[in-house]
Structure 1
Amino acid sequence: MIGNPKINIGPVGEDLSRLWRDDQPADRPVSCGQWQLALRGSELADLRFSGRTVLRAIRFVIRDHDWRTADDGSVSVASAGDNTLVLNVRSRFGRRDVMDWTLTATFEEATLRVHAAATALVPFRRNRIGLIMLQQPSQAGSALEIIHPDDTTTETQFPSQVAPHQPARDVTGYRWQAAGIDCSAQFAGDVFEMEDQRNWTDASYKTYSTPLDQPFPVDLPAGARVEQALQLHCTATGAVEESADRLLIMPTTTTLPTLQLGACTAPTVPTVAGMPVLVEIPADEPRWRDVLRRAAAEADDGTLDIRIVAAEASQIRPVVEELARNPAMAGVARIGVYSRATSLSDAPLIEELRGALNDQGQAVELVGGTRAHFTELNRHVEEFDDLLGALTFSVTPQMHDRSRAQVLESLPVQRIVAEQAVRLAGDRGVHIGPVTLRPRFNAVASTPFVPDDHETADDGYGPQTVPEATDPRQDSIALAGWTIASIAALAIPGVLSLTLYETAGPRGIRRDDGSLTPAGQVIDWLSRAGVLQDPMGLQLITGRCGVIAQQYEAGVQFVIGNLTAEQAVINIGDARARLVDHLGPASQTMITDGVELRIDGYGSVRVIIDRPIME
């Protein structure tokens, strides 16, 4: 009889906080026999069996009545016996500790058993508490067998198109194959279901409990217990090799979408953006006129993209009348309206806006859809059939998780979401944004929105008033490369504009002293160059990168971001290439013989070829 393997918990990896400006600890490698994983805080991440990835993650989550996810206040890691990993965690919302829980992972020859037990420290209202299992998006289109509580099964597939609703319900287990590994999972402690998290640009299919058709939120008393279990069994059946960990994200369109900035919502005195500005007008708050005035000053007689947020139709006409009588508003390129309650362009609001524009003789493009996640567009697109203009949605990678891995993994999923949005829009096109690191408002909160009664925006508005909407990574070196890759991922035919971040402030691209953040610098590089160019001979040798090639003066500009901590190597394909700007570590960032470009971890560079690629 083969005995159980012995567990090995490795040391914490390299500290990268200087490049991310956050306090996230590095992953710890864990191995036991044929099992390997990364311990990412309290998450069992990137689970591998026999050297091949079988799951994106297993995690225990606590979500309150507004769908906020509790943070890990403290995590202690230990081993119990030769083959068991034990995590003891205290979770909190803000500074309030809410639950203590223990996750025990026992590794056997071909089986991983995970058990979670949690105790509420204080009473609170919850929408969800329990284990979740994340399966990687590479499973798209592959076979999935769903096991139900009565032991019946359903044969289906992981969705190829991003599924607007739950692709698996009433779940107690699955059978599937991943990279030549036969996998089965069994859940205990509740009934589970799956959602396609690509709707929020997460790189996963998530299985969770409690089903959404059950009532929520639920009052949880102090001392209440939650206990769940998950068993994963794997058998290697084939010699499938996973592809090398390389990723090259580049635009697929010949014309870069119009780049815009979100209006500054901080108390910071707005400065001239030098680019088109998107502003969300809170028509249900007295300060909406001041918000409009600030945005017009930022646009400086340039282009304004106006999105009205209204609680009722009667709030729309005063905004349109203000636009009609203010000469500074002559640069309005498009206008949309969204319900405060649903974040959607509800039909009565669209009709009121259309009528108000007609009455004022304003010939402005009317856009609509959602000001929230792609999820809402995907679920409600039929409601916009009568809208003649382009569709809209925004992007944030941190709806469910704030880890660096979550932020980075969203990049290729942004391409998937953009492509599906364009298909949904048909020939109308899509305006994407704002793209922000964290949600700028809670689109799924149970707590009703309470309008502010301030007459001015001097103290900030919108995201400035939303707890945890500001990410310290906004001014990080790593965000520069992420920004390049995000623009490249979303730059596809049919995407008409991309709105990024804010013009200034803690969520913007300019600091209080007026200097550009690293993300601001790469946006500046891109906005000063010309049309997109075919990168022709460019070849990624090692690494994961975003690349945008543009006409620049008489030559070609490459803006490239390294998306990993490891050095990336790219063959530019032209000996005339020269490195003109770089952000981040520079100890080994260089071009060798004008051809091979090496970029240090999370660095971003600007490379110029002095003559066009096509001569």
Structure 2
Amino acid sequence: MRSVTLGPVRLSILEGDLRAITFDGVEVLRRLSYPVRDPNWGTHPTETLEERLEEEAGRIRYLHRFRGREAGFTGVFRVEVTAEDGAARIRAEVSLEAEADLAVNRAGFTLLHPLRGVSGQALRVRHADGDEEATVWPALISPSQPVFDIAGLAHEVEGVSVEIAMQGEVFEMEDQRNWSDASFKTYCRPLRLPLPFTLGPTAPVGQMVEITLSGRAKGAAAQVAARRARLPVVEMAVEPGLTALPRHPDLPDLPRLIRLEAGVSDAVLAGLAGGRADALEIVLAEGDDPEVVLRGLAERLTVAGLRPERVMALPAPYLKSHQPEGPWPDGPRPIDLIAPLRAAFPGVAVGGGMLTNFTEFNRCRPDAGLVDYVTWGGTAIVHAADDLSVLETLEALPEIFASGRALAGGRPLHLGLFSIGMRSNPYAAACLPNPGRERLAMVQDDPRQGTGFDAAFAVGVLAGAAVEGVASLALAMADGPLGASGDLARVVAWAAARAGEPVEVETGPVETGPVETGPVVAIRSAKGRLIANLTVEARENPFGAGILAPASVVIEDGA
């Protein structure tokens, strides 16, 4: 990653995209990219043909020529940055061509707007017909697109005026916090139009975005922020077929979050038996009669010696994502399983929610008055998989947890697995293959699992969950592609030994507070401390001596 500065503007260039664009020290745009996405929403990997950066007095120019590594398209991305009299302009153009027709779900500019100084603030939208609309950036996470038909945006971020004009396509916006991205996304093309569409010899893409920046920042001096909280219970996720072991070999006494298909064999149930009470996630096959199937499963669980302390169930079609307005699958809805669950598991806490991301939870919300708790899970690589993007998702998690609490009606948040890799794919037939173990979106086999990076990520998840009052969650699986090993297993063990205890979550240095995650986060208990560097750069340890390596953890036991 290379950073450049021109007057009050600073930006970074990473893999051909503009990242972390700031004006007078205030982040005004998180990313400007130009992905080409296939009909399964996978992002086509590209390779660079030419890259050139020119810096001169009052001007920066950047050129990136590229082509699809596996698909037959080429593209050119040009940027010119100018600054004068305390203001700046960023003009970006992209062109995409394909030698033969290529089916795509997206091709062109994507703008990621930061959360800080933006969520809940005023926004003016210029539509394609020239009309203007006054609205706000969502505070709680919007289940559907908050803004449609965009030709321009204007707003202020901590004293800095931001005006954005688009040409070449009609854009719309989605609240990416749904997928744990720490951003609002303005993208093309509108989802109401038919997908996929064609990029080809007679259908090239040519777009322009112009960003005008002015004003002065209102930010405060950097400081360390601290919040008192209570540590969640950390469970170990187990799923026959995805995990081979019934429990983690080094952490056999951890409570388990077991996911089962309702038709699972008695032999598999017998292999899971033993140990303490567990929480169950049950998936009913399409066409199952909930009353018959759940009652039969409950009887077989009793025979096997499995005693759930919590249980939730979901029809299999709801493992896939559906737009808020539908259409929804035929057959039983999630809410239709609550009464059969209570009948099959008397005296056991019954939950509602989803087994995938907050996106699906937000779009198909449980009736909080009918359940004892709510649940959903999370992955860090729905839209992007580079190290910086993965760590940025940690900024969104506290807002996700807060939005979930607002929907839970006072019910506790007993959440599922939060991992870097994708456990299942709600947006395509399956997780995408990754034979080369690259950093790719929507894959299960992520190369950072087991490297220590996953441990730093888990500390960030744990910090946000503690501050936002999450009752329990899983940070890893017993084994398999999302299994806990190395530092991640040590982080899980540290947290499990302190479940429910009061802690202090410290973040720093940040320029305003309080926030739940920052460049470095520390979770301090009476019996030790976790410290994690949540950036891609080495950082000075604000909570002790020494330098913290990028995306690393320090685990301290004892008083």
TM range (shorter): 0.7 to 0.9
Q: Tell me which residue corresponds to 1:606.
A: 555
Matched residue count: 520
Q: Tell me which residue corresponds to 2:37.
A: 63
Q: Tell me which residue corresponds to 1:89.
A: 66
| Map 1:525-604 → 2, pairs under 5 A | 525-529=494-498, 531-535=500-504, 544-551=519-526, 556-564=527-535, 565-571=537-543, 599-604=548-553
Q: Tell me which residue corresponds to 1:519.
A: 488
Cα distance change on mapping 1:355 and 1:476 into 2, 3 Å: same
| Map 1:384-403 → 2, pairs under 5 A | 384-385=367-368, 387-403=370-386
| Unmatched 5+ stretches in structure 2 | 321-327, 432-440, 511-517
Q: Percent identity, aligned pairs only? A: 25
Q: Tell me which residue corresponds to 1:39.
A: 13
| Map 1:161-180 → 2, pairs under 5 A | 161-180=140-159
Q: Distance in 2 between matches of 1:134 and 1:263?
A: 35
Would you say the 8 A contact 1:272–1:297 is kept in 2?
A: no
Q: Distance in 2 between matches of 1:239 and 1:368?
A: 44
Q: Which amino acid aligns with 1:128?
A: R
Secondary structure of residue in 2 paired with 1:29: strand
- Give the Å deviation of 1:597: 7.1
Q: Which amino acid aligns with 1:331?
A: R
Secondary structure of residue in 2 paired with 1:146: strand
Q: Tell me which residue corresponds to 1:111.
A: 89
Cα distance change on mapping 1:184 and 1:335 into 2, 3 Å: same
Q: Which amino acid aligns with 1:375?
A: T
Q: Distance in 1 between matches of 2:294 and 2:344?
A: 11
Q: Distance in 2 between matches of 1:550 and 1:421?
A: 26
Q: Distance in 2 between matches of 1:417 and 1:539?
A: 18
Cα distance change on mapping 1:361 and 1:148 into 2, 3 Å: closer
- Give the Å deviation of 1:243: 4.8
Would you say the 8 A contact 1:313–1:349 is kept in 2?
A: no
Q: Name which one, 1 or 2, has greater alpha-carbon Rg.
A: 1
Q: Which amino acid aligns with 1:279?
A: I
Q: Tell me which residue corresponds to 2:323.
A: none
Q: Tell me which residue corresponds to 1:499.
A: 474
Secondary structure of residue in 2 paired with 1:112: strand
Would you say the 8 A contact 1:248–1:546 is kept in 2?
A: no
1:345-398 deviation line (CA, Å, top 9, x unaligned)? 9893557645555665643322121112212222332x5356322111111121
Q: Distance in 2 between matches of 1:249 and 1:102?
A: 45
Is the counterpart of residue 196 in structure 1 residue 175 in structure 2?
yes
User: TM-score by structure 1 length?
Assistant: 0.76
Name which of 229, 242, 258 aligns with 1:279: 258
Cα distance change on mapping 1:566 and 1:249 into 2, 3 Å: farther
- Give the Å deviation of 1:111: 1.7
Name which of 337, 345, 358 aligns with 2:313: 337
Would you say the 8 A contact 2:104–2:197 is kept in 1?
A: yes
Would you say the 8 A contact 1:249–1:546 is kept in 2?
A: no
Cα distance change on mapping 1:48 and 1:443 into 2, 3 Å: same
Would you say the 8 A contact 1:141–1:160 is kept in 2?
A: yes
- Give the Å deviation of 1:70: 2.2
Would you say the 8 A contact 1:249–1:547 is kept in 2?
A: no
1:412-454 deviation line (CA, Å, top 9, x unaligned)? 3111111110121012222222112122222123x5x89xxxx
| Unmatched 5+ stretches in structure 1 | 1-26, 451-465, 510-515, 572-590, 611-615
Would you say the 8 A contact 1:272–1:299 is kept in 2?
A: no
Would you say the 8 A contact 2:24–2:216 is kept in 1?
A: no
1:164-199 deviation line (CA, Å, top 9, x unaligned)? 222221110012223433221110111111111112
Greater alpha carbon shift after TM alignment, 111-120 vs 178-187: 178-187
Q: Distance in 2 between matches of 1:247 and 1:410?
A: 21
Q: Distance in 2 between matches of 1:272 and 1:207?
A: 43
Q: Tell me which residue corresponds to 2:361.
A: 377
- Give the Å deviation of 1:474: 0.8
Q: Distance in 2 between matches of 1:183 and 1:357?
A: 51
Secondary structure of residue in 2 paired with 1:348: coil
Q: Which amino acid aligns with 1:85?
A: Y
Q: Which amino acid aligns with 1:557?
A: G
Q: Distance in 1 between matches of 2:125 and 2:167?
A: 15
Name which of 216, 227, 237 aligns with 1:238: 216
Q: Which amino acid aligns with 1:240?
A: K
Cα distance change on mapping 1:242 and 1:183 into 2, 3 Å: farther
Is the counterpart of residue 259 in structure 1 residue 240 in structure 2?
no
Would you say the 8 A contact 1:248–1:544 is kept in 2?
A: no
Report the RMSD for the aligned CA atoms in angstroms.
3.2
Q: Which amino acid aligns with 1:519?
A: L
Q: Distance in 1 between matches of 2:24 and 2:229?
A: 40
Cα distance change on mapping 1:269 and 1:142 into 2, 3 Å: closer
Name which of 163, 172, 175 aligns with 1:184: 163
- Give the Å deviation of 1:491: 1.9
| Map 1:288-327 → 2, pairs under 5 A | 288-290=263-265, 294=268, 297=271, 300-314=274-288, 316=290, 317-318=292-293, 320-326=295-301, 327=303
Q: Which amino acid aligns with 1:30?
A: V
Q: Distance in 2 between matches of 1:122 and 1:262?
A: 45
Q: Which amino acid aligns with 2:115?
A: P
